[in-house]
Amino acid sequence: MAHDEERPDHGESPTAAPLWRNRDYTLWWSGTALSNLGTSVSTLAFPLLILATAGSAAAAGTVGTCAGAGLLVGLLPAGVLADRHSRRAILIGASLVQLATMAAVFWLVAAGHPWLPAIAALALLQGLASAAFRGAAAPVVRRVVPAAQLKAAYAGAEARDYGAQLAGAPLGGLLFSLARWAPFLADALSFAAVTIASALLRTALGPDPGPARPGARSSALRDLGAGLAHIRDRAFLRYALLWLALMNLFLGGVGFLFVVALRQHGASSTRIGAAEALATACALGGALAAGRVVRRVPGRRLVLGVSWMMPIGVAALVPLAGRPWLAGLCLGASTVLVTPLNVVLTSHVMATTEDALTARVASAMGLAAMGLGWLAPLVCGALADAFGVDVPLLAVVVGLVLMAGANHVLPAVRELSAEPGEGEDGGGTPLTADPPHDAVPD
């Protein structure tokens, strides 16, 4: 693409300013932090609302399922949309839809008419809008941050998301106790914040046009096929997609079995909650330290280390299930470096994917990460009922061991020895330079 040659490659600049002085990055980080906090608040408030009004756990689950279904169904189309049309316009439009959705929920609750079908329909719409936002948001960090700072930028994003998750639950409970409509108003306002942030970014968000193919007719379905073919043809992308799918399946199973195992050994709800909080605190520590870890530990070494830490930690849950504190500490220690590992994988995927395909690749990765996770509680619960909780735990251990062993021989893992932006993509095409930070907004 000839126009890319005219743009400076910020990844090669030895004097790049610190991220906190990057106006667009800090603006985007702050806007999405508020949005994620609002989402965490309403995520807790939705089931509380339905339980308080309908008194049915099944009804509460229906609302969550509608939101999740909208997100999963919309992810792949959202990636295609974000690689065909203005990402800034999609970000603003999707945020405004989410704002309107939460405002409608707020109005229904404040008026005293939280009708379940209406809430479920709004949750489905919220999930679809969230998918559209995620598709357009995936390439933003790569556009506003120099290639050499991608790891640090994604580490900051992981810490932001963990912080929003931890703060959102107690804040949501507090707001709901004050007024049932308060969490939904807070979420609506949080979408206003990310809308403003998206509009004020100075960097052009793209998409950049891909290479022209004479005689080729572009269509959404053809573009989706091109994105999936891009993943199929690149060893590292195939590896990352499979890793995310399997890891989220196993981690979802471990999280579910952790509660079941402790409960079967007589732990009270309070002790189980405290043990989970300890494990979450370890994960938060890993998220906060992710920036330092990814700067000091080569990516391949991190993958190998984490992939062996996890089966060891999960296996230890079998003898430690009767000791909640030790079990929580063990689980936390085994997953403490998962966030730095996610940073390494994400930054490498983003740095080695041309801009015209970034949203489609990221959406496919997101679908892989979430697509199998919902199966874990169902499968693990059935196995635990039939054979006891130790059997599915050990089955997860076997799966994790196989993944760890494969990491030693897969050529794709060797790519992580290089920093993002230092090499070529899976097809041998030089990386696209980052857009200038004073570009005219698209």
Domains of the chain: 2-9+17-208 (1.20.1250.20), 226-417 (1.20.1250.20)
- State the angle between helix axes of 299-320 and 235-264 in degrees (0 to 180), rounded to the nearest 10: 20
Instruction: Give the ranges where 15-147 is alpha helix by DSSP (H).
Output: 23-53, 57-82, 87-110, 116-137, 140-144
CA dihedral 337, 339, 341, 347 (to 10 degrees): -150
- 56 by DSSP, 3-state: which? coil
Which tens digits make up the pLDDT trace of 230-240?
888 888 999 98
CA triple 179-185-191, angle to 5 deg: 155
Q: How far apart are CA 306 and CA 279, in angstroms?
A: 16
Q: With a cut of 50, say whether residue 426 has pLDDT above it.
A: no
Comparing 9-18, 41-50, 357-366, which segment has the lowest mean pLDDT?
Answer: 9-18
The pTM score is 0.75
Q: How far apart are CA 17 and CA 33, in angstroms?
A: 22
Q: Is 141 exposed, middle or buried (0-12, 13-18, 19+ CB in 10 A)?
A: buried
Which tens digits make up the pLDDT trace of 266-324?
888 678 878 877 887 888 888 888 888 888 888 899 999 999 999 999 999 999 888 88
Which tens digits make up the pLDDT trace of 207-224?
876 555 544 456 778 888
